[in-house]
Amino acid sequence: MNLQPLTRPRRLAAGDRVVVVAPSGPVPKDRLDTGCEILRGWGLDVQVAPHVTDRHDQFEYLAGSDAHRAADLQEAWCDPRVAGIFCARGGYGAQRMIDLLDWDTMAQAEPKVFAGYSDITALHEAFANCLGVATLHAPMVAASSFLTDPGTAEHLRRTLFEPESVQTITGRQAVTISPGAGEPVSGVTLGGCISLLAAELATPTGRPNVTGGILLIEEVGEDTYRIDRYITHMLRTGWLDGVAAVVLGSVEEGDGGPVEELLADRFGHFDIPIVGRFGFGHGAATLTMPLGVAATLDADRAVLTLDAPALV
């Protein structure tokens, strides 16, 4: 069965309350403060969850205990006064706390904006699979791209407040890797960090397949052979059977050859459209990519068009 569009949260408006959480790694206080000021400049009432600046007692790569990180996220999601949740950063740790979330309770809450990328990919998958809610693969509050690149911040702002203005998305350097059958292809967007998508296979919060999906993928800090391993694993499980198209965002080229050639090789037997250099994910600048939204990819033009705005 093909993927279906998910429930879209409402757009933000000046005066809305939003909460910053840290489901994964620890957050430098100065970067957090700067990012929060950008959000406040958009007229938002920005609250920082209680444990965002915590450090784990044993593992310095975690922003406090698993229980506290989970509690911050669940309390913000279930608070009817909150209109949106922004992740402070990625790193590692979302999968450690994801099974501490009460998904049945969270399903009773009104859908709201949820934004982040990198390690937050695990939560994007869980929000889709367990809550049926569309999310935003978007710059994080303490990410350097959000703090230093005006275009990155503006694309997120427009997605949040004026989503009709960004229904057509393309990267400045986007290229066609494979045209597929040569016709635009429609599907539902999903994806995120390649290593996290692979790590979510066969978990309680991961989805069983991506049939009819437009797969948006990106990665950082991985040699090509490792990316090959992740994609080959996903192929061997059958998870990628029926995928409609692939869009590659930012990839930090490692040893072993261009990732674009790898995608052409690994997805070649599907004969689907593949576009590269789309400009989302880990990079000096990043686009906001809605997940769980019906869209059409024109590979020849390297343009993704959302059938409806990311937010209602």
E-assigned strand segments in 62-120 = 82-87, 113-116
* Predicted pLDDT at 266: 97
Listed as ranges, residues in the chain with pLDDT below 70 are: 253-256
pLDDT tens-digit map of 37-66: 999 999 999 999 999 999 999 999 999 999
Select 17-165's CATH number: 3.40.640.10, 2.30.290.10, 3.40.50.10740, 3.40.50.620.
3.40.50.10740
Catalytic residue numbers, as ranges: 118, 218, 282
Predicted pLDDT at 15: 98
CATH class of 167-306: alpha beta
**Residue 252's pLDDT is what?**
73
The whole-number pLDDT of residue 254 equals 58
Question: Which pLDDT score is estimated for 255?
Answer: 58
CB atoms within 10 A of CB 59: 12
Domain ranges within the chain, ordered by starting residue? 17-165, 167-306
Residues 6+ apart with CB under 8 A from 50: 68, 72
**Taking the model in full, what pTM does it have?**
0.97
Collapse the DSSP code of 273 into the 3-class scheme (helix H, G, I; strand E, B; otherwise coil) and give the result: strand
